[in-house]
Structure 1
Amino acid sequence: MFFRRKGWLRKEFDDQLVEELIDQKNEWNRQKQLLENSLEPSQEVLYELKVAEAKYFFYLREAKKRTITIGR
């Protein structure tokens, strides 16, 4: 009985991971665009860009580890 539930839970968490991955990619792109449009970027903007990049690559590595495909 538990093994059936395990597959369902895995699918649910994989879907959440895909959503987070897409959201984080959008955030990273937004931060890059903000940096490109800035004449003199502050340290806070650079910090936020690095954080967004690190989060995106973390989610991307996790998706690769779980062998999740986003588009079919």
Structure 2
Amino acid sequence: MGFLRKKKLRKEFDNKLIEQLMRQKEEWNRQKRLIEHSLEPSAEVLHELNVAEAKYFFYLREAKKRNLRIGGWK
């Protein structure tokens, strides 16, 4: 009985991780576009870009560690 619950929880958290990964990728791309369109990006905007990039790669590493497949890629 405990095994089935554990499997269900893992699947639920894997799905949440995938959602967070995709959301963070969109945020990182939004920040990059903002920098590209800025004449003189401020230090705060550059910092937010670095934070968004770090979060995205954190989620990506975690997804790879869990061997998750998203749309045909690992």
Question: What TM-score bracket applies, with the shorter chain setting the length?
Answer: over 0.9
1:17-62 residue CA offsets vs partner (Å, 9 max, x unmatched): 0000000000000000000000000000000000000000000000
What percentage of residue pairs aligned between the two structures are identical? 71
1:17 has 2:17 as partner:
yes
For structure 1, the 5+ residue unaligned runs are none
Q: What pairs with 1:1-72 in structure 2 (closer than 5 Å)?
A: 1-72=1-72
Structure 1 residue runs of 4 or more that deviate by more than 2 Å after TM superposition: none
Q: TM-score, normalised by structure 1?
A: 0.98
Instruction: Name the Cα RMSD after superposition.
Output: 0.6
Q: TM-score, normalised by structure 2?
A: 0.95
Number of residue pairs aligned between Structure 1 and Structure 2: 72
For structure 2, the 5+ residue unaligned runs are none
